[in-house]
A and B are shown apart, each in its own frame.
Chain A
Amino acid sequence: MVKIKYLIIAFLIVMVGILATVLVFPSQEKKVKKRFALLSEHMSKDPQENTLIMVSKIKGISTLFGENCNLTVSDYSLSGNYTREEISGIALRGRTHFSILDLKFYDLKVSFREKDLAQVNLTARLTGKSVYGEHVDETRELICLLKKVEKKWLFSSFEVIEVLKR
């Protein structure tokens, strides 16, 4: 009887240990997914957003990107290689076109091509309202690359998949 009691206690300790490890030390995949959650949070915008919040969000966006980031977007003339500061500028200009903006990511599939290089295939949906009152609802499939620099996963490439090529 005593043995069973000790076994149950030992089992509970092991379970708590595993749970604590998972919570305190999230897997690399979770860390990568967290970057997308942060990007979504920083890109979002509501009509009441003041300058202080805007500056904070733009700063937040810049911290998610590496020194350089490559954008590949076939429909627009946005494709190119940009520095972190240029990415912040693009995000700032993009956000000013909207009074309401919501960027959500779905179906994230994370794979590690190399030790410190993650590839994420995902669906991005952008909804909102432009400052001219037009409703926007765009969905695209993306391939993103993130590099691990000083223990942080930073965006290094965004490619919008061209499904329908005119």
Chain B
Amino acid sequence: MEPTYGSRGINFCWRLRYLFSKPERHDVVVVRFAGSRVMLLKRVVGLEGERVEFRNGKLFVNGSPMEEPYVRYPCNWNLPPRKVDDNFVYVIGDNRSMPIENHYFGQVSMDRIMGGPIW
């Protein structure tokens, strides 16, 4: 999530953040990746029912290019369009300087969204 959040930093999760609402686009969320202890910080870029794709490093949602001021490192990712399933959101990290194969991203079930970082 660099440069928004530094690698190996300590962050606190606000568990009640999505108790009465759903994550919105550009929200940073805490994703439960494995067990109850391994969490990832990711940014929501696509909501349920939307189509997400990358063309030469540019994110497109439902065919429209998205402005992402939080992305500082350019990339040349290409990803064919895919629809986000019901009760899922599409999440990606801000640091896209690495090859697409080495980046953890994709659609994640709402059940795995633990909350959002406090700051």
Contact mask A120-149 → B, CB, 8 Å, 1/0? 001110000000000000011100000000
Please tell me which stretch of B16-24, B63-71, B99-107 contacts chain A, meaning at least 4 of its Cβ atoms lie within 8 angstroms of it.
Answer: B99-107
Complex contact A166–B106 (CB within 8 A): yes
Interchain Cβ contacts under 8 Å between A and B, 13 examples:
A106-B35, A123-B35, A139-B33, A139-B34, A139-B38, A140-B34, A161-B34, A163-B34, A163-B109, A164-B33, A164-B108, A166-B82, A166-B107
Cβ of A107 within 8 Å of any chain B Cβ, yes or no, is yes
Which residues of A lie under 8 Å from residue B107 when comparing CB positions? 164-166
Q: Which size class do B's interface residues fall under?
A: 10 to 19
Q: Shortest distance in angstroms between A22's beta carbon and chain B's nearest beta carbon?
A: 27
Contact mask B82-101 → A, CB, 8 Å, 1/0? 10000000010000000000
Cβ of B110 within 8 Å of any chain A Cβ, yes or no, is no
Q: A124-B34, A141-B38, A166-B106 are in contact. List 14 more A-B contacts (CB 8 A).
A: A107-B35, A107-B36, A107-B37, A123-B35, A123-B37, A139-B34, A139-B38, A161-B34, A163-B108, A163-B109, A163-B112, A164-B31, A164-B105, A164-B107
Which residues of B lie under 8 Å from residue A161 when comparing CB positions? 34
Determine chain B's interface SS by DSSP, over half rule: strand
Which residues of B lie under 8 Å from residue A107 when comparing CB positions? 35-37
Contact mask A58-78 → B, CB, 8 Å, 1/0? 000000000000000000000
Q: Which of B14-54 contact A (CB under 8 A)?
A: 31-38
Q: How far, in whole Å, are A106 and B35 apart by their CA atoms in the complex?
A: 8
Complex contact A166–B79 (CB within 8 A): yes
Q: Shortest distance in angstroms between B32's beta carbon and chain A's nearest beta carbon?
A: 8
Which residues of A lie under 8 Å from residue B36 when comparing CB positions? 107
Which residues of A lie under 8 Å from residue B79 when comparing CB positions? 166
Q: Shortest distance in angstroms between A33's beta carbon and chain B's nearest beta carbon?
A: 15
Q: Shortest distance in angstroms between B4's beta carbon and chain A's nearest beta carbon?
A: 18
Contact among B38, B104, B106 for A123, CB-based, below 8 A? B38
Which residues of B lie under 8 Å from residue A163 when comparing CB positions? 31-34, 108-109, 112
Closest to A124 in B: B34
Which residues of B lie under 8 Å from residue A106 when comparing CB positions? 35, 37
Complex contact B34–A123 (CB within 8 A): yes
Contact mask A144-161 → B, CB, 8 Å, 1/0? 000000000000000001
